[in-house]
A and B are shown apart, each in its own frame.
Chain A
Amino acid sequence: MTHAKFRAQIRKAGLLATAIAALMASPALAKVTVLGWPGGPEETALRAAADAYNAKADVAGNDKVELLFFNRDGFWDKLQADLAAGSTAFDVNLLATYSIGRYAPFMEPVELSGEAEGVYGDAVLKTMQFEGKQYGVPTDLSLHFMYYRKDLIDALLNDDAAKARYGEISEKLLSKKLEPKDPDAWDWDDYAATALYFTQSVNPDSPTRYGTVLQIKNLLFNVMVWQSLPRAYGGDWMDAEGKVTVNSDAYRKGLETYKLLYDNGATPRDSLSYEFPEANAAYASGQVAAMLQWNAAASDLTSTEKSPAVAEVTETVAPPTGPAGRFTHIHGLGFGLNKNAANKEGGVKFLQWLSSKEAALTYARNNGAPALTPDVVKEVAEERPDLVKLGEFAGTYGYVMSGGTSAGALSVYELQAKEFTGYWSGQQSLDEALANTEKGMAELLK
């Protein structure tokens, strides 16, 4: 090959490489890349919403949405590392209520559409706020239901001998004589008394092995399930001055109630290693009378195919009440804007559309779990009756602990999970657990 031919070949190769690079680069620059939560109903809903958005005539070619998913395992840790590294691989990313504060330094607040407040309501929008600024659109909401066996409760309510036994058990173990009530009228003592009554080690005549199933593995999500109990007694993370307030009667009551149930065998002995799936499996076996669990379990536990032993006799109500009121922890998954987004303008346009009524209904009709206001949810009530209860409970009973969206929120949950499970398992006293938690939280929330 002559020198000239060689140079010509090199030039062609260079041109080809440039063309390929341009082809590969252009779609990434032109599109809005959205990082979603993979492998569940949230993915299905997001795909449907993205398709609907891309099909709109007024969405420019360079603002079309492309979706990006990576594995659920360690998702938040990977996202943390990506955001901190200034990744431009996505313009819009998933975020959760309890991690907003941690991600906020790498994200930008967004202005939602004018319809957002009417679609979601104030309590739900707050799940995506940090320091008064809106960081995301709350697309999926999680809260808790009290699942219970209607057949068992009805039998209890209609049997005088059973009522008397119930009273004896509550007097012996809770130091107060209680009468069985409809679960929608339960306070937390009624729940505890019912759990004890339906436990065979306490009441050998119980039709179920356990009265309840507690998920008390050392895991932050399990603290979220539990904390509606102290909340019902006025518990909060901090007071208005920012002082940590967990070393309180409310937290004592919550911790002691769980300890009493665990020590009396009202929950399986391995509950200290239980989380969502284990608790569901226990309840679905038909050997548990009532359980506080995430709303996400509702479809499985009321499906005759998946839970034949309990599906037709399972009912749900909001968690029990207390002197300070009736509460359910809520947190949302949502979407916000990456500070280093390559197509920031396109990302904002997508987020504004995502917060509209049209998007929320599309998302709801495709397996998503948005908490919608009564006016909006009625449009999908026939297809998604579960969303009616979700929206109602979120609006009426939903709360976020003070500091629950701060940068240290995740670490606070981790700390509480460690200290409280240490108490429930008998490795440390209640005083030690609360003192350690208070000290740790003061450090994390300062």
Chain B
Amino acid sequence: MTTTSPSARTPEFRLLATPLVLFLLVFLGFPAIVNLVYSVSQVSFETLRSPQLSGFSNFAAVWNDTSFWRSVWFSLRFGALTALLECGLGLFLAIFLSPLIVKRSWLLAILMLPLMVAPALVGLMYRLVLHEFVGPVPHYLWIWFGTGVSFLGPGSAFWTLAAVETLQWTPFALLLFYMAYQAIPADIGEAAAIDGAGPLRRLWRIELPLMAPTIVAALLIRFIDGFRVFDNVYVLTGSGPGGATASLSIYIYEAFFKQGAIGKAVAASVLLFAASFAVLYGLNALATRRKGATA
């Protein structure tokens, strides 16, 4: 059962909360209302201040657009695959390198370097790295195998993009998992060892369960980041041949700015908002139920 703190009703509380409420209203509430209006309007750059209500035609246009569903599928696949790869690799490295990092903590700083590079810059960097006449990877592949490799062709672009994303963001998962791993009290492991549990059993039965909340949080964060990917994909392939690598963010951006279909772009973002809200609400309800069950 939740209770409301009595202090929440005091004038001081209201006074202190006012700036935050105003901030949320102005910077979130107002754009949200404008977006809702635009999503049910015929609107262009010329009529931004006088949109004509048009019912749900924008939603219908989005719903019937194969490019929209293709971008949703791309984002889902990309988000899920990169989250799994980054967290899997990050978890392995956190545990495998832990003894080394404990003794030489500066290694962690080096491992974190990819996080310091802007995603768009990573995209530009790989445009060079993967270019047949400039990049080292295709150069050696040509020397060794005598053939050019199409890293960004229609059959391979998805995997190349996922690899680039994974290489950049695995350190983030590594950092989270290393912190979680270090937070496990040493005496638990020692007690298990005395009871005869080997390293793998301790990992599977004790350490991973204790790290589970961090793993779930990391998976969720990385999935969200992967799902909304824009920068490095857009720089590397645009939306890909025939729109093959258009994420949902790229779909919305192109509909808004490139096609000038503002109502359609906003309707897509409203659908995305509704889907995200439903998923997060469901996850929250699930977590609350589990919390209640274990209490």
Q: A278-B127, A287-B133 are in contact. Are A418 and B239 (CB under 8 A)?
A: yes
Q: Specify which chain B residues have a CB less than 8 angstroms from the CB of A77 in the assembled complex.
A: 257
Q: Are B241 and A272 in contact (CB under 8 A)?
A: yes
Q: Are A268 and B154 in contact (CB under 8 A)?
A: no
CB distance from B198 to the nearest CB of A (A): 48
Q: Are B242 and A414 in contact (CB under 8 A)?
A: no
Question: Is B157 engaged at the interface, CB distance under 8 Å to the other chain?
Answer: yes
Question: Is B199 engaged at the interface, CB distance under 8 Å to the other chain?
Answer: no
Determine the distance from Cα of A85 to Cα of B45 in the docked complex, in whole angstroms. Answer: 9
Q: A269-B150, A272-B153 are in contact. Are A218 and B260 (CB under 8 A)?
A: no
Q: Interface digits, A404-437 against B, CB 8 Å rule (1 contact, 0 not)?
A: 0001101100110011011111111000000000
Interface residues of B in 122-152 (CB under 8 A from A): 127, 130-134, 148-152
Query: Which residue of chain A lies nearest to B151 when distances are taken between CB atoms in the complex?
Result: A270
Q: Are B45 and A424 in contact (CB under 8 A)?
A: no
Q: Are B242 and A427 in contact (CB under 8 A)?
A: yes
Q: Are A268 and B45 in contact (CB under 8 A)?
A: no
Q: Are B242 and A273 in contact (CB under 8 A)?
A: no
Interface residues of B in 43-71 (CB under 8 A from A): 45-46, 48
Question: Is A163 engaged at the interface, CB distance under 8 Å to the other chain?
Answer: no
Number of interface residues of B (CB under 8 A): 31
Q: Are B257 and A281 in contact (CB under 8 A)?
A: no
Question: Is A217 engaged at the interface, CB distance under 8 Å to the other chain?
Answer: yes
> Which listed residue (A106, A269, A281) contacts B153, Cβ 8 A?
A269
Question: Is B237 engaged at the interface, CB distance under 8 Å to the other chain?
Answer: yes
Q: Are A281 and B131 in contact (CB under 8 A)?
A: yes
Determine the distance from Cα of A299 to Cα of B130 in the docked complex, in whole angstroms. Answer: 25
Interface residues of A in 242-289 (CB under 8 A from B): 268-270, 272-273, 278, 281-282, 284-285, 287
CB distance from B86 to the nearest CB of A (A): 24
Q: Specify which chain A residues have a CB less than 8 angstroms from the CB of B132 in the assembled complex.
A: 268-270, 282
CB distance from A284 to the nearest CB of B (A): 8
> Which listed residue (A269, A408, A414, A428) contacts B149, Cβ 8 A?
A269
Query: Which residue of chain B lies nearest to A76 when distances are taken between CB atoms in the complex?
Result: B257
Q: Are A418 and B45 in contact (CB under 8 A)?
A: no
Q: Are B45 and A273 in contact (CB under 8 A)?
A: no
Question: Is A105 engaged at the interface, CB distance under 8 Å to the other chain?
Answer: yes
Q: Specify which chain B residues have a CB less than 8 angstroms from the CB of A105 in the assembled complex.
A: 45-46
Determine the distance from Cα of A273 to Cα of B239 in the docked complex, in whole angstroms. Answer: 10
Q: Are A218 and B259 in contact (CB under 8 A)?
A: no
> Which listed residue (B48, B148, B237, B257) contacts A268, Cβ 8 A?
B148
Determine the distance from Cα of A421 to Cα of B258 in the docked complex, in whole angstroms. Answer: 17
Number of interface residues of A (CB under 8 A): 44
Q: Are B239 and A270 in contact (CB under 8 A)?
A: no
Q: Are A84 and B48 in contact (CB under 8 A)?
A: yes
Q: Specify which chain B residues have a CB less than 8 angstroms from the CB of A424 in the assembled complex.
A: 241
Query: Which residue of chain A lies nearest to B259 when distances are taken between CB atoms in the complex?
Result: A411
Q: Specify which chain B residues have a CB less than 8 angstroms from the CB of A272 in the assembled complex.
A: 150, 152-154, 241
Interface residues of B in 63-100 (CB under 8 A from A): none
Q: A105-B46, A273-B236 are in contact. Are A425 and B148 (CB under 8 A)?
A: no
Q: Are B134 and A273 in contact (CB under 8 A)?
A: no
Question: Is A344 engaged at the interface, CB distance under 8 Å to the other chain?
Answer: no
Query: Which residue of chain A lies nearest to B253 when distances are taken between CB atoms in the complex?
Result: A77
CB distance from A127 to the nearest CB of B (A): 21
CB distance from B156 to the nearest CB of A (A): 9
CB distance from B259 to the nearest CB of A (A): 5
Question: Is B238 engaged at the interface, CB distance under 8 Å to the other chain?
Answer: yes
Q: Specify which chain B residues have a CB less than 8 angstroms from the CB of A411 in the assembled complex.
A: 258-260
Q: Are A425 and B133 in contact (CB under 8 A)?
A: no
Q: Are A273 and B152 in contact (CB under 8 A)?
A: yes
Determine the distance from Cα of A411 to Cα of B45 in the docked complex, in whole angstroms. Answer: 14
Q: A102-B45, A428-B242 are in contact. Are A270 and B133 (CB under 8 A)?
A: no
Question: Which B positions have Cβ atoms within 8 angstroms of A?
Answer: 45-46, 48, 127, 130-134, 148-154, 157, 236-244, 254, 257-260
- Having A217-B237, A270-B132, one finds 6 other A-B pairs with CB under 8 Å, namely A218-B240, A269-B150, A281-B131, A410-B258, A421-B241, A421-B242
Of all A-B residue pairs in the complex, the 4 with the closest CB atoms, nearest first, are A422-B242, A425-B241, A273-B152, A269-B150
